[in-house]
Amino acid sequence: MAVALCVFGAATRNKAGEQPGNQARAHAETLGGSNSSSNSSSSSSSSSAGLRLTNVSLTSVVKADDLVVRADPSVSPRVRKRGTLTPATSSLVLQAEVGQGTYGTVRAARDVVSQQLVAVKLLPRVFSDIAEREVDFLERVERAGGHENIVRFLRIERPDPVHEHRGASAIEQVANSVSDFVSQVTNGLSGQAARTLNGATLLVFEFIRGEELFDRVVDSGPLSEDEAVDITRQTVRAVRFLHEKVGIVHADIKPENLLLTNKGKLKVCDFGSAMRLKRSEDGEETVVTSNIVLPGTAAYCAPEVLDKRGKAPLTSALDVWSLGCVLYVMLSGTHPFDTRGTRSDAAVARAVQREEVKFDGPVWDEVSDDAKDLLRRMLHKDPALRITLKQVQNHPFLRRHT
């Protein structure tokens, strides 16, 4: 039984061998894409939602791969529950690393108090602005009541400064797993800084048993229309919730950020690229961009996001485009603008802006006309003419598969 935690912006994984259905695993690189977010040391941002930053100390190593993370009782840590902040005592046992992302790593962990298995995303101090920005969006989701198709955010914790605790060596043991990665991302971060998590942020999430949609497609090839419709329905419900109830766009919808539980439920994860969505009184939308990170992964970005000239304003339609790319991937096992899996990221970005979506190859002979019609509407270059999520839900392709 596969166990997957959200890898939150996972790097592309290369796998040897051939995909079932003669789909070359070389497509995995294009399906995964590369994150277009860029780190900036510019102005800091703080969470306005008021979630308490729990002061935690990393203490002793329990066994080879485990590390205890204990909260300082004097700080009165708080645990996030649906729509509330409830006092609690925190103690985590960090276990195996399960993935690396653009800004940090993800580990499995055991919550000693509740005995629940959780996922912990560790963000080094150099990314503290990005961490607080992501927490702000995660907290907005929870304050809106959360959603069954969105990974649940539980709480945030922070280690104390290394020099104040005897647990410095333990902190370094956690950080060793990310030091090389952090050094690459920050281009010259000192070895000492890279090997410690002094000032790091720990984001605690529910643990998901299942697999990424990315792995499902790479391992099994194209999905049936019934499977694709079921996943699309659940994803659209979650994203509409973000747009209409939370007031944000996800801005990084891709197969790696869609988790499939062992019970068949879809969970959207990774809000590291999310942005606020404002609506005027007359209903006009405006996405509030950030000077800290850029939207999502290039291969799944809408043309208006990639257009540096900024001809078209950014709206919630950018998430519709990404969902269209994901639907295309599910039905064909290939990326809509790199069907052979041979283009560079730059070439894919150019194709997104210049080429129309095509349905070439025998795999599309088995796909319905309704599905192709929906894809054309979701992958329309002009965001003003692109189909809306409500219209996606009412499209014959989704309504036909009940």
The pTM of the full predicted model, rounded to 2 decimals, is 0.74
Tell me the pairing of strands 248-249 and 275-279: antiparallel
Interatomic CA distance for residues 296 and 286, integer angstroms: 17
| CB contact at 8 A, 77 and 71 | yes
pLDDT over threshold 60, residue 88: no
Interatomic CA distance for residues 116 and 119, integer angstroms: 10
Residue 200 confidence (pLDDT): 78
DSSP assignment string, 288-351: E--SS---SBGGG--HHHH-TT--S---THHHHHHHHHHHHHHHHSSBTTBTTS---HHHHHHH
pLDDT over threshold 60, residue 349: yes
Q: Report whether 381 belongs to an annotated binding site.
A: no
Interatomic CA distance for residues 203 and 53, integer angstroms: 10
Across 80-94, 183-197, 308-322, 344-358, least confident range: 183-197
The CATH code for residues 54-206 is: 3.30.200.20
- The verdict on whether 252 is a catalytic residue reads yes
How does pLDDT run across 213-232, given as a tens digit for each residue? 999 999 999 999 999 999 99
Residue 57 confidence (pLDDT): 30
- Is the torsion defined by CA of 269, 375, 265, 140 positive or negative? positive
From the centroid of its chain, how far is CA 67?
25
Query: 113-126 burial by CB neighbour count: b if 16+ within 10 A, else e?
Result: eeeebbbbbbbbbb
Across 149-158, 174-183, 364-373, 391-400, least confident range: 174-183
Task: Kindly indicate the confidence band of residue 337, based on its pLDDT and cuts at 50, 70 and 90.
Answer: very high
Interatomic CA distance for residues 65 and 247, integer angstroms: 40
Residue 35 confidence (pLDDT): 57
Cα separations in angstroms, 245 against 26, 143, 315, 323: 39, 10, 15, 19
* Mean pLDDT, rounded, for 127-131: 86
pLDDT over threshold 60, residue 81: no
| Phi, psi (deg, nearest 5) at residue 386 | -70, 145
How does pLDDT run across 48-62, given as a tens digit for each residue? 222 222 233 333 223
Residue 294 confidence (pLDDT): 59
Residue 293 confidence (pLDDT): 59
Q: How far apart are the first and last CA of the chain?
A: 28
Identified catalytic residue from 129, 136, 230, 252: 252
The CATH code for residues 22-39+210-400 is: 1.10.510.10
pLDDT over threshold 70, residue 39: no
How does pLDDT run across 260-294, given as a tens digit for each residue? 999 999 999 999 899 999 988 887 888 988 765 55
* Mean pLDDT, rounded, for 81-95: 52
Interatomic CA distance for residues 377 and 388, integer angstroms: 9
Interatomic CA distance for residues 267 and 212, integer angstroms: 9
Task: Kindly indicate the confidence band of residue 94, based on its pLDDT and cuts at 50, 70 and 90.
Answer: confident
* Mean pLDDT, rounded, for 353-372: 96
Residue 92 confidence (pLDDT): 76
Tell me the average pLDDT of the chain.
74
22-39+210-400 and 54-206 in the same fold: no
Annotated domain spans of the chain = 22-39+210-400, 54-206
More confident residue, 49 or 40: 40
Which three-class secondary structure state does DSSP give residue 157?
strand
Query: What percent of the chain shows pLDDT beyond 70?
Result: 65
Residue 103 confidence (pLDDT): 79
Task: Kindly indicate the confidence band of residue 30, based on its pLDDT and cuts at 50, 70 and 90.
Answer: low
Task: Kindly indicate the confidence band of residue 97, based on its pLDDT and cuts at 50, 70 and 90.
Answer: confident
